[in-house]
Amino acid sequence: MENQTLFDALVLGLLEGLTEFIPVSSTGHILLAGHFLGFESTGKAFEILIQLGAILAILTVYFHRLVKLLVDFPSDGRTRRFVLGVLIAFLPAAFLGVLAHGFIKTVLFETPMLICVMLILGGFVLLWIDRLELKPKFHDVMDYPLSLCLKIGLFQCLALIPGTSRSGSTIVGALLMGTDKRSAAEFSFFLAMPTMAGAFAYDLFKNRDVLSSADIPIIAVGFVAAFVSALLVVRHLLDYVSRHGFALFAWWRLIVGTVGLIALLIWG
């Protein structure tokens, strides 16, 4: 990797963990921070590979729930439908992500102005959705119909544009389709597992020839920082969202996007 320090990796790892599961766009934050820090990684691999820390954090928190799903899967139809629903929701973004991988990494990831604009637009969307008087029909992720899972998966495709937010697009899509806030955020957690694991594995494969042993310390620091900070977020997010909604995250997006735009216009 080029032009990086362990301190930069620590900062970006913390940002990844703190923002991955809240609707503010972890990728957008990392790319913007990396731009202003002068952090450059080979093939933008660091930004994807440190997601493994966040993946392990959510697997740690949901370990007992995942074990129960595994045990119940052979005999319980409700469990099988839920697992199938998560896989169905995962497929659209996975397909488009592979198809447009080069364009996303070489064009969208290299356009900080676009990231700022998407952060701002997403902030307005969250404010709008948070103030809608929605009447939820679904309160338990285990009862989501397969058709609903597919629609949420289609919304997740929007997150291929950095700054949009994977969790934000899936949560907004779920809310518009009739879910409550807590289950929308929880389904986003479950959907993150195959989505992030798939992105990690695919990016590792694509960059297998350009990464070297010299990259390991940088990635390791980012990984550990992402794991610790994501652990804190996952443990407390559902309760916070249930009580307070998404307004805080909306304003955060608006502030970061606006400050980023101003900084880009002044310093480039």
Amino acid at position 229, single letter: S
Report the length, in residues, of the chain: 268
DSSP 40: B
For the chain, the first-to-last Cα distance in angstroms comes to 23
Q: Could you list the pLDDT tens digit for every one of the 268 residues in the chain?
A: 444 688 888 999 999 999 988 999 988 998 899 888 888 776 567 877 888 899 899 999 999 999 999 999 999 999 999 999 999 999 999 999 999 988 888 888 888 999 999 999 999 999 999 888 889 999 999 999 999 999 999 999 999 999 999 999 999 999 999 999 999 999 999 999 999 888 888 888 887 777 777 778 888 899 999 999 999 998 888 889 888 889 999 999 999 999 999 999 998 7
| Annotated domain spans of the chain | 6-72+103-130+162-169+185-267
- Check: CB of residue 28 under 8 Å from CB of residue 119: yes
Write the burial class of residue 161 (CB in 10 Å: 0-12 exposed, 13-18 middle, 19+ buried): buried
DSSP 37: H
Rounded Cα–Cα distance for residues 42 and 34 (Å): 13
- Check: CB of residue 244 under 8 Å from CB of residue 237: no
What does the angle CA 155 – CA 161 – CA 167 come to, to the nearest 5 degrees?
50
Rg (CA), the chain: 18
- Check: CB of residue 104 under 8 Å from CB of residue 160: yes
Put simply, whether the predicted model's pTM sits higher than 0.95 gets the answer no
For the beta carbon of residue 23, count every other beta carbon within 10 angstroms: 27
